[in-house]
Amino acid sequence: MNDSLRIGLAGLGTVGTGVLDELADHGGLIADRCGRTVKVTAVSARTRSKDRGGHDLTGFQWFDDPAEMAQSDGIDVLVELIGGDEGPARACVEAALKAGKHVVTANKALLARHGVALAKLAEGAGVALNYEAAVAGAIPVIKTLRENLAGNAVTRVFGILNGTCNFILTKMENEGRDFADVLKEAQDLGYAEADPTFDIGGFDTAHKLVILTSLAFGTEVSLEDIFIEGIEDITLADIRNASSMGYKFKLLGVANRTEDGIEQRVHPALVRAGSPIADVGDAFNAVVVEGDFSSTLFLEGRGAGGHPTASSVVADICDIARGSRVPVFGLPADKLKPFRRAAMRAHAGGYYVALDMLDRPGELAGVAKAFADEGVSIESVIQRGPAMSRSKVGADIAPFVLITHDTLESAMRAALDKIEAQGHVASRPRMVRIERL
């Protein structure tokens, strides 16, 4: 097949212009490897006049409406880089699939909300829906799960899926700076948006994790069935406490197969310093997949940025150019099992708990009793520094850190609720899972 593969590019931001860069710089190499030329013939964006790094768009057909471009006879593949789970992004992807066009997207939110419906459209039309760039940037985790591990039963997939959070936690640890200060730097560098909630609240990681869950376990995508907790409450004191005990903080997305169903969770965790996942720093991502025949695979790389993400977009385009097409979530959409949510279970490493205890006689005994009543065994208790300034209830505060033995999530939450209700602490206890990974 020697005819050109014609691309309609919807979205000309950082990733879209990165795709133009890669096709311009490596067009000949891509043609040799794919057996045909790949060229952009049409583009769509919100404004024509915006400076796009010197790219000349006059040679492309311009569409104000990406859904109109998606149905154009002048393209074979729609590349959707608009973002968002509704609006123009959803409209143009659905239009392309209904028109029998292949689709490449980097849109995690769209797939997390509408992935199964879009998979059915693609498979019904006999076209590809590729989305390597939607999860972990340049890391080829989608292809790994969808193709390379096709003969494996995956038991667990987890990782660092948000570079902004990893950047913030790494900076806090290495430079001794508080959360707000590092967050502002992340915003200044373009890692975090003006409203950073989507990143630091864990929602970006959640969108990516539900996609990996579907691929790993053959279930329908289910964004509603995921536990989400962000890093907003992690303090510099927590970072220092963890470091002194040989741990590092990471925001993890974890999906486990259990007898009761699938456990999906996003939350900060303590991981042992020196472990592979702990050593992933700055804005890098890492994904770990555990399969029965493959054993453990560890993939690390840049999880965001124009050129790394564009690399995955172009890889998806090349698969289409070669004539490769696989089921969207590894299995035909009608064979995906309904998602069955498992309750949060015991965690192998126990829990870290930070308490701002009121410095009064009997408070520590009251805390110990609350844990004992719920069957939670305390491994160690560490007091961090002298009593702090007086609290709003008129008592000095003594900061304590507790480490528990393995226990149930429900027992931990019940004990902490009791400790707070009984007035042993000046603020809500901070609980972080310790993960053995």
Residues assigned a catalytic role: 208
Match 């700055």 to its residue by tokens: 282
- The dihedrals phi and psi of 140, each to the nearest 5 degrees, come to -80, 60
Count other Cβ atoms within 10 Å, centred on residue 38: 22
Report the alpha-carbon distance of residue 176 to residue 240 in Å, rounded: 8
Nearest residue to 224 via CA among 238, 239, 210, 208: 210
**Number of continuous H segments (helices) and E segments (strands) in the chain:** 13, 16
- Output the six-digit token pair for 385: 């520094």
Report the alpha-carbon distance of residue 281 to residue 261 in Å, rounded: 32
- The dihedrals phi and psi of 184, each to the nearest 5 degrees, come to -60, -40
Nearest residue to 118 via CA among 335, 315, 341, 329: 329
- Output the six-digit token pair for 55: 């790219």
Length of the chain: 437
Report the alpha-carbon distance of residue 411 to residue 397 in Å, rounded: 25
Report the alpha-carbon distance of residue 128 to residue 79 in Å, rounded: 12
Q: Which long-range contacts (CB under 8 A, 24 or more apart) does 411-420 make?
A: 411/374, 411/375, 411/376, 412/351, 412/353, 412/374, 412/376, 414/374, 415/370, 415/371, 415/373, 415/374, 415/376, 416/353, 418/370, 418/373, 418/374, 419/355, 419/366, 419/367, 419/370
